[in-house]
A and B are shown apart, each in its own frame.
Chain A
Amino acid sequence: MIELIDEKGLRRDGRRVDEIRPLKIEVGVLKNADGSSYIEFGKNKIVVAVYGPKEVHPKHLALPDRSILRCRYHMAPFSTDTRKHPQPSRREIEISKVISEALEPALILEDYPRTVINVYLEVLQADGGSRCAGITASTVALADAGIPMRDMVVACAVGKISGQVVLDLNDTEDKEGEADMPVAIMPNLNQTTLLQLDGILTPEEFEKGFEMAVNACRHIYEVQRKALIDKYFGKNEVGEE
């Protein structure tokens, strides 16, 4: 087994156990989309586009009292170590579903009956935690699209490597570690909107990890806010670079 934490308590990429990877969020990176964002979270690079609210196709899927939210999480063929076939995998379909369910509680869909809001996530590079980075970026793109929301949604994973509970696993840690638990919350309403877990955690580790994830989400929320404020109220125009 690879040693994932050294004697100084540092991880292979030099982080402490409670440290997240460098994070960068940009707003409005695509011209055609109604709202868009770009996130770099460690080596994860994801573009998100929001289209809608707009007419639903096929029409029978439309709901009379609210809009429907559809998410598509897709990985570019060059996003992983070995090429990924462009066709959506079962994993991508499941992740699309949980992302949609993580975002939906924050949206005031009742304002737009008989419409659809499409959220497209394109993972340009994946390095562990892409669903969390994708959720964080999607909320920003939804805000950029002007979709009314009750709160933002922020996500971060915790896990267990070399016997310790750590924040924000990268790809190697996810593969070699003992547990991975992505968490998404609404930071102002204090609600959990996504929780997944694979691996093994004691109830104590679970509690500790969950708390670490929530705290990290609160930090990430500030980055989300700043990205949006910079775009809409910023002193200097925020461009692509």
Chain B
Amino acid sequence: MSAVKKSVVVERLRKAQIVEFLSKEKRLDGRGLLDFRPIKIETGIIEKANGSARVRIGNTQVIAGVKIEIGEPFPDTPEMGLLVVNVEVLPLSSAYAEPGPPDEEAIELARVVDRGIRESKMVDLSKLVLIPGKKVHAIFVDVDILDTDGNLFDAASYATVASIATSTMPKFSVGQNGQIKQEDEAVPLQINCIPVSITLAKIDGEFIVDPTSEEEGVMDARITLTFDDDGNIRAGQKGQPGTLDFNQVKLAVNIAKDRAKEIREIIKESIKDAKG
């Protein structure tokens, strides 16, 4: 279930062309190096989910759905609710994805997306406790990758954020005997910030944002950085065998920080009507 096309002969042949374009500060699809493709976010598309969102970045298409249930806390965090982000790279998403258990790329994708949301403290898990040590709210975010054309990290992350931000959850009350009763009322899930992940690909020494599958096929290195509302970095992950020199690391942070601000506005716009 590879998330990224790899070793495609045609893409190898394209590398020279991509590099030549990059030297003129252009990309094959006409974008500048630091331009995103059009981003489209729709929320509230799955009625049976507590929250949901479809994100398209160019031809990449993903859907996230939130399910909020009652669960047991982890033994080492008895006073914290659960938040689990899971990403499925479905076989319908590209000719290179196979059915079966997730491979290492799919697992990395899921974990990086999860980390950005978790570390940003978007959801205050300490407020999701019903009976300390016994019963807590468990928030499951499942992301379905439907169509792959690069930058799954950011697409899955935006879908996760938009679906959580538009979630409502059933109200529960705890009786004297420890019985948990579900009330009819639904309340919005409180969020603290809008984490935004930005993924940069390095090709022949140049950084680009929002890489397509074709660009990912020839990239030397990848770096994903997640920012909170105040511009702090909350999570990061470098991927692929290539390296980044120290100046490039700093450059990556600066580029990503600026992009994150713009993308946050797009996400905010998409969730503003859904809340309530």
Contact B91 A72 (CB under 8 A): yes
Q: Is residue B43 within 8 Å, beta carbon to beta carbon, of the partner chain? A: no
A178 → chain B, closest Cβ, in Å?
25
Residues of B within 8 A of A74 (CB): 90
User: Given the complex of chains A and B, what is the CA–CA distance between A120 and B61 in angstroms?
Assistant: 16
User: Given the complex of chains A and B, what is the CA–CA distance between A80 and B91 in angstroms?
Assistant: 21
Interface size for B (C-beta < 8 A) is 29
Closest to A80 in B: B48
Contact B149 A125 (CB under 8 A): no
Residues of A within 8 A of B88 (CB): 76-77, 86
Interface size for A (C-beta < 8 A) is 30
Binds A, one of B140-148, B174-182, B234-242: B140-148
Contact A77 B67 (CB under 8 A): yes
Question: Which of A47, A51, A77 contacts B146, CB < 8 Å?
Answer: A47
Q: Is residue B59 within 8 Å, beta carbon to beta carbon, of the partner chain? A: yes
Contact A77 B90 (CB under 8 A): no
Q: Is residue A202 within 8 Å, beta carbon to beta carbon, of the partner chain? A: no
Residues of B within 8 A of A127 (CB): 48
Question: Which of A43, A49, A72 contacts B48, CB < 8 Å?
Answer: A43
Residues of B within 8 A of A118 (CB): 91
B97 → chain A, closest Cβ, in Å?
9
Q: Is residue A82 within 8 Å, beta carbon to beta carbon, of the partner chain? A: yes
**C-beta contact mask, B186-229 vs A, less than 8 Å → 1, else 0?**
00000000000000000000000000000000000000000000
Q: Is residue B10 within 8 Å, beta carbon to beta carbon, of the partner chain? A: no
Q: Is residue B245 within 8 Å, beta carbon to beta carbon, of the partner chain? A: no
Closest to B65 in A: A78
Residues of B within 8 A of A82 (CB): 67, 69
Closest to A81 in B: B48
B7 → chain A, closest Cβ, in Å?
16
Given contacts A31-B147, A122-B144, A125-B48, contact A76 B65 (CB under 8 A): yes
Residues of A within 8 A of B49 (CB): 78, 125
**C-beta contact mask, A183-225 vs B, less than 8 Å → 1, else 0?**
0000000000000000000000000000000000000000000
Q: Is residue B47 within 8 Å, beta carbon to beta carbon, of the partner chain? A: yes
Contact A124 B144 (CB under 8 A): yes
**C-beta contact mask, B91-110 vs A, less than 8 Å → 1, else 0?**
11111000100000000000
Q: Is residue A236 within 8 Å, beta carbon to beta carbon, of the partner chain? A: no
Contact B92 A30 (CB under 8 A): yes
Quick one: which of A52-77 are within 8 Å of B by CB? 54, 72, 74, 76-77
User: Given the complex of chains A and B, what is the CA–CA distance between A81 and B67 in angstroms?
Assistant: 9
A147 → chain B, closest Cβ, in Å?
16
Q: Is residue B168 within 8 Å, beta carbon to beta carbon, of the partner chain? A: no
The 3 closest A-B pairs by CB, nearest first: A78-B65, A49-B92, A120-B92
User: Can you report 18 A-B residue pairs in the complex whose CB atoms are below 8 A from each other?
Assistant: A32-B93, A33-B147, A43-B48, A49-B91, A49-B93, A51-B92, A74-B90, A76-B88, A77-B86, A77-B88, A78-B49, A78-B65, A80-B48, A86-B86, A120-B91, A122-B144, A124-B45, A124-B65
A binding-site residues for B, Cβ under 8 Å: 30-33, 36, 43, 45, 47-49, 51, 54, 72, 74, 76-83, 86, 118, 120, 122, 124-127
